[in-house]
Structure 1
Amino acid sequence: MNFANTPRFSNQGLRPGSQLLLCTLTSLALLVGDSQFGLMDRTRDALSVVLYPIQRAVNMPMAAAAHIGEFFITQTALKQENAALRSRELAQSARLARLTSLEQEVQQLKALNSLRTDSLRAGQLGEVLYTARDPFSYKIIIDKGLDAGLAAGLPVVDERGLVGQVTRVQPLTAEVTLIIDKNQMVPVVNQRTGQRSLLYGYGGGVEVRYLPAAADIQQGDLLVTSGIDGLYSEGIPVARVTRVDRPAGASFARVLCQSIAGVQSSRYMLVLPPRAAMPPRPAPAPQPAKPKKKKDTEDEG
């Protein structure tokens, strides 16, 4: 018998059945030891530490894709929300502007209504429709005319003071020439000193003309209607003095003023009724007859 080709037991190892039995017993021993004594806790902890970077590397592409998708979704939502908030803000701003304008109109109407005392009860409340076509004139058109009993020459005021004068009347509208027009003139009196003067418009503003250079007038003086022209009622605020120039050697002072009323901003105005007819001017005194000269008497004889 040739024993040279026969494998030894150490080279063959355990048989498969024995290996299975050994692995089974080892597994049972580890299970029992782990459940009863916690033998594998440290091993699992060590393995989790070793395998954590690998898990992070494997999950990183999916996590990055999720973050990118969430970023774009968030950006889209933020853009939509910003657009909605911007639209809402514009709507609220427009509504606030309308409310502010309505509040100002209500306050102006209340102030005008308070002006309608017993003496001014017949005054007509008018609304400004548009300005005149001539850009070099300062005129406005109101929504009252012959149908409301208006006539040329009636004064027009707002809640602060004199605005102008009705210069042309049509069936449904009327033209009002503002006091800042270059063809408009108002007799005024200095409320502080009582001195009378004439206030002229010069196309965008007002000034006092032909006032002596030595006249007592200063910045801040209030000028009101004097009422001596038979057109404007007495005491209506017209303008406030803003600057007084007295050039050397000049006969008249230059007095610049600022109108009290909102001549270019008021929307509602009150057309005052005509004043009571003023008594006629007294007739001039008759001139005494001149005595005839002696020569003229002889000629007549």
Structure 2
Amino acid sequence: MKPLFVRGPSPVVRLVLAAFLGFALMVADHRYQYLETVRGSLSVLVYPFYYLANLPDTLLHRVQGRLADDEVLRRDLAALQRENLLLRARMQRFESLEAENRRLRDLLGSSVRVGERVLIAELLAVDLNPYRHHLLIDKGARAGVFVGQPVVDARAVMGQVVRADPLTARVLLITDVEHSLPVEVLRNGLRAIASGTGLINQLELPHLPKNADIRVGDLLVTSGLGGRFPAGYPVARVATVDSEPGNAFATVTAEPLARLDRSREVLLVWIPSSSEHAAGDPSEHSLNEAPER
């Protein structure tokens, strides 16, 4: 059977027909929007091919972005960790400074209550011998410190200077066995001597008669006798009062009010008599001068 059309239109005719058809479709789409639905359907059909063609490039960009984000996050995390460490270190310093400021305010408040010339000093060392209660402070003879000078903290009497070098001074605490201090009971004015026992939290009041008017909880203050310590400084509070039948005197112990094992700043106190003494003959400031007993 022979085909109906042995030869089709020439290529030129086909090109002209295709161009005319395309131009007609463009005019129809532009003027009347006839092909909008067809174009939408075709875009849905073609989208998977676009997606598959663009998938390698998309994955590559995502991986690169993820790696870059991870690197940025690691750098930011490291920077934040360093900053946090610095801030925490500074916070510790601020806490230390805050505590130091509180101690200094307490000391300054104590100096106001004392109403005398005072000098703030810091501890440099503590005698490690358990039987000697000595401190080394950072103020010495060049700052006017002298042997026998009273030393207090924000709460009460701590001791007295027993050696004054040019830049440092050694302080004998009231709890040392070689130290004794004239005191009186604030409640009734009863006079006594508070002696060190070698224990950092205990003083003893020897040679008090059994009928002495002293009670547990009584506040002991400096009596001012002897001219070494000014009168009225808190010293200790009575802890125990025992009257054993076999003893001629009562056994009385007291607990120091000063923070002997914790204070880092101390006050060196001048009183009129001690100022005159400090301004007198330097030979009077013997390094071997014994503490007041």
TM-score (norm: length of structure 1): 0.68
Structure 2 unaligned blocks of 5 or more: 278-293
Which residue is 2:62 aligned to?
64
What is the letter of the counterpart of residue 237 of structure 2? R
Work out which of the residue numbers 224, 227, 238 in structure 1 matches 2:224: 227
Residue 203 (1) aligns with residue 206 (2): no
Q: CA deviation at 1:12?
A: 4.6
Which residue is 1:257 aligned to?
255
The Cα RMSD (Å) is 3.9
Distance 1:171 1:64, change over 3 A: closer
Q: Partners of 1:213 and 1:11 in 2: how far apart?
A: 152
Aligned-pair identity (%): 25
Residue 148 (1) aligns with residue 163 (2): no
Which residue is 1:128 aligned to?
122
Does the aligned pair in 2 maintain the 1:199–1:206 contact within 8 Å?
no
Which residue is 2:173 aligned to?
178
Q: Partners of 1:131 and 1:88 in 2: how far apart?
A: 30
Does the aligned pair in 2 maintain the 1:178–1:263 contact within 8 Å?
no
| Offset from partner CA, 1:76-103 (integer Å, 9 cap, x none) | 4413541452365256436635753674
Work out which of the residue numbers 83, 86, 93 in structure 2 matches 1:85: 83
What is the letter of the counterpart of residue 144 of structure 2? A
Structure 1 unaligned blocks of 5 or more: 278-301
Which residue is 1:299 aligned to?
none
| Offset from partner CA, 1:196-217 (integer Å, 9 cap, x none) | 4443433322234446599642
Residue correspondences, number: 265
- Deviates most, 19-28 or 124-133: 124-133
Which residue is 1:286 aligned to?
none
Which residue is 1:166 aligned to?
161
Q: Partners of 1:270 and 1:104 in 2: how far apart?
A: 18
Q: Partners of 1:225 and 1:236 in 2: how far apart?
A: 5
| Offset from partner CA, 1:253-276 (integer Å, 9 cap, x none) | 564524235664142421434469
Q: Partners of 1:25 and 1:141 in 2: how far apart?
A: 111
- Find the structure with the greater CA-based Rg: 1
**Aligned 1:1-301 pairs, distance under 5 A:** 8-10=3-5, 12-57=7-52, 58-59=54-55, 60-83=58-81, 85-86=83-84, 88-90=86-88, 92-93=90-91, 96=94, 99-100=97-98, 103-104=101-102, 107=105, 110-111=108-109, 114=112, 117=115, 120-121=116-117, 125=119, 127-128=121-122, 130-136=124-130, 137-142=132-137, 143-145=139-141, 148=144, 150-151=146-147, 153-201=148-196, 202-210=198-206, 212=210, 216-219=214-217, 221-241=218-238, 243-244=239-240, 252=250, 255-260=253-258, 264-273=262-271, 274=273
Q: Which protein has greater RCO, CA pairs closer than 8 Å, 6+ apart? A: 2
TM-score (norm: length of structure 2): 0.69
Describe the SS at the equivalent of 2:178: coil
- Deviates most, 108-117 or 167-176: 108-117
Q: CA deviation at 1:236?
A: 0.8
Distance 1:173 1:85, change over 3 A: closer
Q: CA deviation at 1:130?
A: 1.7
